[in-house]
Amino acid sequence: MNLTDKIEEIRQKPENERVKYVWFMVSLSMTLIIFIWFFSFKSIFRGNEKINSGQDIITELEKKEPETNNANAESTVGNIIQQDDSQGKSL
């Protein structure tokens, strides 16, 4: 039995049974969406650790050199990243 035959079979049923199919499919779809959303949420939070690590470097540089302005700190971090990239490493 293929999908088009099954859809036609459902169309022939009374409305109250078709409504049951609709709510079943809505529930199934929402469960799938929530499942995917939950796991993507976990990966977003894991991914933020890597993003925040660049800001942590800038903060540490500012603590060590209080007279350094933010532009100098960002420039220094950029130089560090370029050096790592040229050596085949990535942050």
* Average confidence score pLDDT of the chain: 75
The residue written with tokens 């939950």 in the block is 38
- The answer to whether residues 58 and 70 touch, using CB atoms and an 8 Å cutoff, is yes
Question: What does the alpha-carbon distance between residue 35 and residue 33 come to, in Å, rounded to a whole number?
Answer: 5
Q: Is the pLDDT of residue 40 over 70?
A: yes
What's this model's pTM, rounded to 2 decimal places?
0.43
- Angle at the Cα of 63 from the Cα atoms of 61 and 69, rounded to 5 degrees: 65
Q: Is the pLDDT of residue 2 over 80?
A: yes
Q: Is the pLDDT of residue 80 over 60?
A: yes
How much of the chain exceeds pLDDT 70, in percent?
52
